[in-house]
Structures are given as C-alpha cells and as structure tokens.
Chain A
Amino acid sequence: MPSVFTPSTQTELARFVAGNAAGSRQRLRPIGGRTTLSANVANSEEICEIRLGDLKSLVDYPARDMTVTVEAGMTVAELQSILQKEKQRLPVDFAQATRATIGGAVAMNASGPRRAGHGSLRDYLIGVSAVDAQGRLFHGGGRVVKNVAGYDLCKLAIGSRGTLAILTQFTFKLRPLPEAEGLIWTTFDTFAEIENVLERLLVSAARPVAVEVLTPPAAAVIANAAHASLPIDRPVLVIGVEGTESTVMWQIEQLRREMVPFGVQDLQTCTSEAASPVWSALTEFQTPADDPITFQANLRPSRAMEFLTLAHAAGVLAQCHAANGLIVGHIPAEPGGGTPPLGTLTKLREFARTAGGNLTVRHADENLSSRIDWLGDPEPSATLMRQLKKKLDPHELLNPTWFDGAGK
C-alpha cells in the first residue's frame, strides 16, 4: 500500500516535502479528485500519495475585481457555485466537476467545448503557489489581471501533471456569466461537408463560443446522456452561442441561414433549459467510460475533419473542438473482445503526425497499459522539458514516471 499524507495547510505540506527531500526521498504523487489518475502515473508501491483534498479554502474573492484565489483541493463544482452567486464564472468547461479539483484541472490543462470562444486555463490563471520537490513553497504571478514581473510560472503549472511541483493555490481572472445560451445541432452526410461549413464559419456574422464535431456513435452517447432526442445517424456539428436572450436567438437564426446551403440534413436548436444538459454532455464526453483506450489528439483545425473520417471508419467515438483542432476519442474493444485496438491507435497517431500534430493516450485499460506508447512523438522541445524537470526536481521525486509514459 502506498503511504499517504494529507496536509491541512500549504506550510504543513512544504515542511513534509522538505523533510522527505532531506530524508527518505520517497517519491510523491499529488492527488486531487482522482478523475484522471489513470493517465498520470504508474501505480507504485513506494510512492507517497499527497492528498490535497483538505486544502480547499476560498482564500480571497474580491468579486468586483473579477478575480478569485482558491486552494488547489477545492472541487471545480464548488468554485463554480461560489462564482455563480456573483453572476461570474471561470469560462472553462471541466468534466466531473463535483469530483475534479481545481488543482487537478490545472495540472491536466482541462478544457471543453467553450474553448473556441473563451480560450483555456492559460488565459485565466494569473497567480500560482506550489511546493517544489525540495519543499520550497513558492509563487508566481499575483492577484492582478496584468502583471509581467518575473517568469510566468502560471504557464508552467498548467499541464505539468504534478511533475514540476505540487500545486497548492491559484488566482484566476473571471468573466461575467452570460444571460443566455443556445445550441444548434445539425447533421451532415460527411465530415468533408462539415469542413466546408467550418470554413464558412470563419467569416460568420455570429460569434460562436463552441464548435463541436461528433462521430455518430459519440453523438449517440452525448444525446443519450443529455436525455435529448437529437439526430445521431450522421456526422454531427454542434455550434454553441452565448449572450443575451436576443443575441442568442439572432445568432442561431444567422447560423442556420449560413449553414443550410452546405447540405444540412437535420437541424435542431436547443435554447434555455434544453441547452444545458447538452452542454454538460458535451463536456463530460471526454471522461473515459468502458472503452479500453481514450486519447487526445491536437491537430491543425484544417486537418481535423480528415482525422474524424479516419477515426469514424475505425469505429472510434470521437469529439472534436473544431475551432481548436483538439480531438478526444474513445477506442472501443474489438468485437468479441478479441485483440486490443492498438492498430487503430497507431493509425490515428500516424495521421496526427502528418497533420503537424500529436496524439497522447489519456486512459488505457490495465492490461494494455504496458504495451502502449502514452506520449506519442516527442515534441521538438522535449529535451528542454526534461532539462527543466531535472532542474526543478533533481531527484525525480514528483510523479517520476510520467515522462516515460505511465505504465512503464
């Protein structure tokens, strides 16, 4: 059994980590809500779990400054409900919000459909505190929305997967909650037709905040989760808009008119109450379910529809944030439970590569775990990343196996 440490303050954590660095040098694994752990590191007997669930205070919320400072162990849902009371939000979508912690979300660079319109955590995180492998409690950035003093440690925290430091506290800048939101759900015969629409959208009179493309089985999962009867028999394009009641209606009408000439087969709109379960289903889709492999690919947006064509032909349930070129896919088991779907993974990764992108595995079944290349092609800057890891964590105490891929 791994040992466990559950700090109740950041200083207590720093003291513990410093003691560890000076003493037994156990390897440490920061733990938030455990929603993405399978992606993170190998299970290891000698690892000490640092459970951040008790570091969950709201440190400061000067709502009229539109910033908030919270500890890493607070759940995303709790933060969002605190902000909602002031009609504000952190406009990034997080899956499993009631379990996922803010720390985990930052460490994994979580995002969802709204990133087309609102960007990702790197656009909102303005201050960070963390404990490094030596037990130093340090911070970067601050609590003001504009600040260029010192290196931008916030950027390093995002997506660092617990490998650089144990993240303990964050300051975000916030946005007002929109008054209304709406979605148009459309189907097309092919992904190639959807690509034509995506090109048209580049000069749309509307300003969508979400542009999602789904393979039919992914659409089925989403419609089902939203308890909505939506067309799912063909490739699906979902566009989301926000604003006032009137700008939402206007944009939906505008988008409808712009899209129809491109071969829309079915079109359904969801506004007010009807929209929100669909938004959440679109956000939750990324969570691994029963399928043996879940991946994320990042491509140039212009190549994403080709990727989806390929993925769909291989039976993959895929969702694409089309404005950003990000794709989440679940690869189902071969029929009859036979050979694991490693061939599909290889094929898709190859395409991602030729499209100037990459593909990383976020979840794999235990029995596949050691046979999988989790990280895909090393990025050109991989050497620099390793150097930095080595500099900040010379004894490789923090989530040590991640760089070689979990499971190895």
Chain B
Amino acid sequence: MGPSDGRPVTAHVRGPSLRDETETASVMMTAHEITRASASVPVGLLQELRGILSAAAVVDEPQRLVVYECDGFVVEKNMPDVVVFPESTEEVAAVVRACNRHNVPFLPRGAGTSLAGGCLPVGGGIMIALTRMKAIHEINLRDRYAVVDPGLVNVHLTQKLKGSGYHYAPDPSSQGACTLGGNFATNSGGPHTLKYGVTVNHVLGAEVVLANGDVVMLGGPTEDIPGYDLTGLFVGSEGTLGICTRLWVRLTRDPAAYRTMLAVFETVDDATVAISEIIGAGIVPAALEMMDQGIIEAVEAAFHFGFPLDAGAVLLMEVDGLELEVDAEATRMESICTACGAREVRRANSPEERLKLWKCRKQAFGAIGRLSPSYCTQDGVVPRTKLPQILQHIQDVSRRYDVRIVNVFHAGDGNIHPILLFDERDPDQVERVLAASDEILSRCIDLGGSVTGEHGIGVEKINFMSRLFSPDDLAVMGLIHDCYNPEGRLSPGKMLPVLAGCGNEHMPRRVPGRKAAL
C-alpha cells in the first residue's frame, strides 16, 4: 500500500501498536521518516485542507505531531498524519468531506485528557482538534441554558457563571483542562455527579458534524423534543457517531448552602462500610469521595492540608441544600461515620478550607508522581453495597501480585479508581500490573458492575466489551454505529470490538496505562 492508492500510510505504525518505553523513544528518533509518512497523505487532500483552513491551522510537521500521538492513555501511540485546527462548524464539515473524498480516516480531539485512548488515531489520518473553537455564545439564565463551543474548557464555563446563581454541574477532576466537547463525547462525571448526574443529564442539544460531513442539530434549548433522544445517544459515544461542534447545556441553580466534612478512619474497611451505610440510609450527599492511606501520603506531601498520615482512609463528604437542612444531614452523616468507627469527623470551617479540601481531592493524581515512576488507573464500578468487597479484593490482589495499589475515588457512586503503581522498565512488574488490573475489573463485572464509570472504553478496554455485553447487544450497538458512521472513517477502532475493519480487531493490551485520574 502506498501513496498511489490514495490511502494514508503511516510509516512507523499501522494501527495502534504496543510498545514499551524504548520503542516509543525510537519512534521519536525517527522523525524524518515520519515526514515521509505524513507526506503520504494524498497530496490532493493536503492541498484541500490548506484551502479550507489557514496555513497555521494545518499541521503536518512530525516534531509537532508527536504531541498528538496519544492522550492521557500513553500506552498505545500512533501519530496522526495531519492535525487541523478548524475555527468553525463549516470548516469542520469541509475537512470531514475532504477526508471522505480521499478515503482517509479522521477523528476529533479536545484537550486530550482521555484516559482510555479515545484520541488515538488508529490507522493514522487526520486529527480534528477543536481547541480553537472555544467561545461561549449565549448564557440564558431565564431558560437555564448556555450555548458553547466544543473546545471550551469546562472550568471556563464555571468561571463565567460565577456570581450568576447558576452553574454547569458536571465537574470532572480534569475540569481545568478538559473540554466540553470531550465531556460530551465521554459522558464525563465528577465528584458532584453523585447528586446532580453526569454530563448527559445536563446536555440539552448539540450541533454535530456527521461522518459524511452533514451538519445536524440534535435537541436544543427546549425539552422533550418529539422523537428519539439522539442527543442522549450521541453523548458518551466517544466520538464514533459525530463531531460535536456546538452544545446547549443545562444550567443548574447553585445550592443555597453546603457543609463539607472529612471523616478519618483507621481502616479502608470501616470507610467503605460507612459509605454503604450512608447510601443505604437514604442520604443523597452532594459528593462522597474516598482516599486511602497511600494517596493521603502523596496528597499531604504535595498540599500540606493536615491529613492524618496514619489514617487508613478518609472520606471527603459534602451535603448541600437549604441552610435549614444541611446541618441535620451533616450530623446524620457524621454519626453514621462515628458508628462505623471513624476516629474523627472534621468540618471545613470556611469557604477557603472547603476549596482547599477539594483542591487536594481534584489534584490527587498530580501528586502520585511522588509515589512511583509509573501508574495505571482503573475505572470500575460496583453496586455501592459491594464497595467493601471490591476494596478487600483490591487489597488482596495487591498482596497476591505484589503490586502497590492506592485508591482515590467517587465512592458514593461505587466508581472505584484503583491506581496501580509500578516501574514500567521492569517487564515482570508490567505483567503483574496487567494481570492485577484484569482481575479487579473482572471482579467488578462479577459483582454486577461495569469496567468504566466515566473514562470510557476507548481503545484501552475494548476487549472487555464482549465480557460486559452479549453478541446481540454488540450487534445492536454495531447497527447504531453503522447507521451514522457507515464507512467507519470517523474515529475507527474505538469502543466497539470488531467494527469497521480498521486493523485493530485484535488488540491485546500488553502495557497498562500510566496516567491516572480521579
């Protein structure tokens, strides 16, 4: 296969390949070879792209493309042949049509914080980076929605709304970097989605460029559009059904009051039992997050909050509501924690203290570098009453495989994030981490849960799909995929196994992800 047959050829990798650090390094060193690779995008396409976009918005220099070879999932890498930075829906649509004319695959990218390899350009092709489309077009408090561009960073909307009495509820821990388009595609969650729901519960509509380049409007500022909820279907479709170029998002009233608490436990066991008891008692906290001793250590070293280093686990808990009721709720949670063996329960005494607590929580991952050269986060979910079991299982796996595992996660949702620490230069450790991850996720399935609560399937967990879903389930999902992405050129090789024939039908995971998140 070569330039002459009009298909893109990527010299260094065809499809995602599995490589260790040394191989990755060798890819970086062969930059000049890659020049030739990107030159293998049909010349006609490159010319067309330069006609559609300004010169600065078409990047094909290998040195600059390297940045785009992976996202937050750094295990599997592949460079796109070209990255484009459109500034309007029309430009996105024109790029998509051009790719189709030349039979070249393409995929959208936001901030690239995906932890599942959602932005991996499987088979190379054109990457459509939406980061230059970042306007806030409208904030309508009367009708409680905002219209925003897909490249807008989540926290920028939060900041813009400050003082209005309203906010955009989904608050992924990566909100300082991730984009609303990326949140749309992955159906992101966050600490406060326990009470307020995940992204799909807050998206009213979207303008989408389909795989064939058509621009369509799904949903909109009015609720209950007659017909199918295509907005709901496209949210969480990981960029495989269309490229979101504008979003209508729901704005939520700020809570009148909140109380933020930190409960300190001797053991992880006690803490997880407390979570179960709180949920079982019918309390709906605004947030309920757990950090175990390993993570506390790292966070304390980074932020000096004053976390007790000898505690087995802490729960970061928040209740919100009317001023009149939050104290009673907080007290109920405190007494449940005490009954479950909490050594102490502290309350954040000021807004500053609350913010600091949340900062520790949201940046916990940044602190992990202090513990280990490499790490791998899993994103399993279990029914909330099964948390004690899964955490015991994780401890057991940690012992059996001799892999250190720390935990920081959305406990109230049953969404665990065990972080496996290792040194990826040691192949034996890598093997053990892989086996351990697999065992943890398999147990999540056995306990009636899922392998991903918010990070998505991407390329990382594609092999788990056939364990979660029957062939019939996957066939129906395949029909939906083919309905809107029939040629499979849009984001090939994601989410659904054996689809679109892009060469990655068989993709054993050999090296676990190193990046982690909460």
Contact of B282 with A176 in the complex, beta carbons under 8 Å: yes
Decide: B220 and A65 in contact? CB cutoff 8 A. Answer: no
Check if A382 sits within 8 Å of B227, measured CB to CB: yes
Contact string against B for A residues 150-161, beta-carbon threshold 8 Å, 1 for contact and 0 otherwise: 111111101110
Q: Are A380 and B143 in contact (CB under 8 A)?
A: no
Judge if B280 is at the interface, Cβ distance under 8 Å. yes
Q: Which of B276, B381, B415, B482 has most chain A Cβ within 10 Å?
A: B381
Cross-chain contact A150 with B469 (CB below 8 angstroms)? yes
The range of chain B's interface size is 35 or more
Among A186-194, A199-207, A265-273, the stretch in contact with B: A199-207
Contacting pair A360 B477 (CB below 8 A): no
A247 touches B225 (CB 8 A): no
Which residues of chain B are near A152, meaning CB under 8 Å?
187, 200, 232-233, 235-237
A66 within 8 A of B: yes
Contact across chains for B454 and A150 when beta carbons are under 8 A apart: no
In the assembled complex, the CB of B256 is this many whole angstroms from the nearest CB of chain A, namely 7
Known: A247-B324, A385-B227. A156 touches B232 (CB 8 A): yes
Cβ of A214 within 8 Å of any chain B Cβ, yes or no, is no
CB distance from A331 to the nearest CB of B (A): 18
Q: Is the CB of A301 within 8 A of B322?
A: no
Q: Looking across the interface, which residue of chain A has its beta carbon closest to that of B476?
A: A138
Given A66-B279, A153-B476, A324-B223, is A119 in contact with B197 using a C-beta cutoff of 8 Å? yes
Alpha-carbon separation in the docked complex, A137 to B495 (Å) = 21
**Residue B311 is within 8 A (CB to CB) of chain A in the complex:** no
**How far does the alpha carbon of A146 sit from the alpha carbon of B481 in the complex, in Å?**
22
Would you give the 0/1 interface string for B377-412, flagging 1 where the beta carbon is closer than 8 Å to chain A? 000011111000000000000000000000000100
B468 to chain A, nearest CB (A): 5
97-156 of chain B: CB within 8 A of chain A: 141-144
CA distance A66 to B288 in the complex (A): 15
In angstroms, Cα B217 to Cα A356, docked, is 13
When chains A and B are docked, how far (Å) is the Cα of A149 from the Cα of B236? 9
Q: Determine if A202 and B141 form an interchain contact, defined as CB atoms under 8 angstroms apart.
A: yes
User: Could you tell me if B465 and A150 are in contact, using CB atoms closer than 8 angstroms?
Assistant: yes
Q: Which residues of A contact B415 (CB under 8 A)?
A: 146
A300-B141 in contact (CB<8A): no
Nearest-neighbour CB distance to chain A for B174, whole angstroms, equals: 15
Minimum C-beta distance from B235 to chain A (A): 7
Q: Are A301 and B187 in touch, CB under 8 angstroms?
A: no
List A contacts of B322 (CB < 8 A): 205-207, 243, 247, 250-251
A203 (CB) vs chain B CBs: closest residue: B165
> Is B306 interfacial (CB 8 A cutoff)?
no
Q: Select from chain A the residue with minimum beta-carbon distance to B381.
A: A144
Task: Please tell me if B27 contacts chain A, counting CB pairs below 8 Å.
Answer: no
Q: Which residue of chain B has the shortest Cβ distance to A389 in the bound complex?
A: B228
Pair B276/A64 contact, Cβ less than 8 Å: yes
Residues A144 and B222 in contact, CB atoms below 8 Å apart: no
> Which residue, of B220, B451, B455, has the highest number of chain A Cβ atoms within 10 A?
B220
Mark interface residues in B221-258 (1 if CB within 8 Å of A CB, else 0): 11111111111110111000000000000000100100
Residues of chain A at interface, number, CB under 8 A: 79
On whether the beta carbons of B233 and A156 are closer than 8 Å, the reply is yes
Q: Assuming A123-B201, A158-B229, is B452 touching A148 (CB within 8 A)?
A: yes
The reply to whether the CB of A391 lies closer than 8 angstroms to some CB of chain B is yes
Tell which of A64, A140, A146, A176 touches B189, judged by Cβ atoms closer than 8 Å: A146
User: Is A395 an interface residue when CB atoms closer than 8 A count as contact?
Assistant: no
User: In the complex, what distance in Å separates the CA atom of A67 from the CA atom of B454?
Assistant: 19
Min CB–CB distance A354 → chain B (angstroms): 12
In the complex, are the beta carbons of A164 and B495 less than 8 A apart? no
The residue in chain A whose Cβ has the minimal distance to the Cβ of B277 is A64
CB neighbours (8 Å) of B451 from chain A are: 149
Question: Across the two chains, which residue of chain B brings its CB closest to A176?
Answer: B282
Q: Which residues of A contact B175 (CB under 8 A)?
A: none
A175 B284 Cβ-Cβ under 8 A: yes
Contacts of A159 in B (CB 8 A): 224, 226-229
The answer to whether B385 and A62 have CB atoms under 8 Å apart is: yes
**Selected contact of A302 from candidates B143, B193, B448, B461, CB within 8 Å:** B143
Q: Is the CB of A65 within 8 A of B457?
A: no
CB distance from A60 to the nearest CB of B (A): 9
CB pair B477–A150 under 8 Å, yes or no, is: yes
B:51-106 near A, CB below 8 Å: none
Distance of A293 from chain B, by nearest CB (Å): 16
Q: Is A358 an interface residue (CB 8 A)?
A: yes
Confirm or deny: A325 has a beta carbon within 8 angstroms of a beta carbon on chain B.
yes
Most buried by B among A148, A149, A383: A148
Contact across chains for B201 and A155 when beta carbons are under 8 A apart? no
- Within 8 Å by CB of A87, from B201, B282, B410, B464, lies B282
Binding site for B on A (CB under 8 A): 62-67, 87-88, 109, 111, 119-120, 122-123, 132, 136-140, 142-156, 158-160, 164, 175-176, 199, 202-203, 205-207, 243-244, 246-247, 250-251, 296, 298-302, 324-326, 356-358, 360, 375-376, 379-385, 387-388, 391-392
Q: Would you list 29 pairs from A and B whose C-beta atoms are within 8 A, ordered by A residue?
A: A65-B279, A122-B201, A123-B201, A132-B476, A140-B476, A143-B448, A146-B450, A147-B381, A148-B450, A148-B456, A149-B465, A149-B468, A151-B237, A151-B481, A158-B229, A202-B165, A207-B322, A246-B324, A247-B322, A250-B322, A298-B226, A300-B222, A302-B143, A376-B226, A380-B217, A384-B218, A387-B483, A387-B484, A392-B480
Given A244-B325, A324-B223, 20 additional A-B pairs, CB 8 A: A119-B201, A122-B232, A138-B476, A140-B473, A143-B449, A148-B455, A148-B456, A199-B142, A202-B142, A205-B256, A300-B222, A302-B142, A360-B226, A381-B218, A381-B219, A383-B216, A384-B218, A385-B227, A385-B228, A391-B480
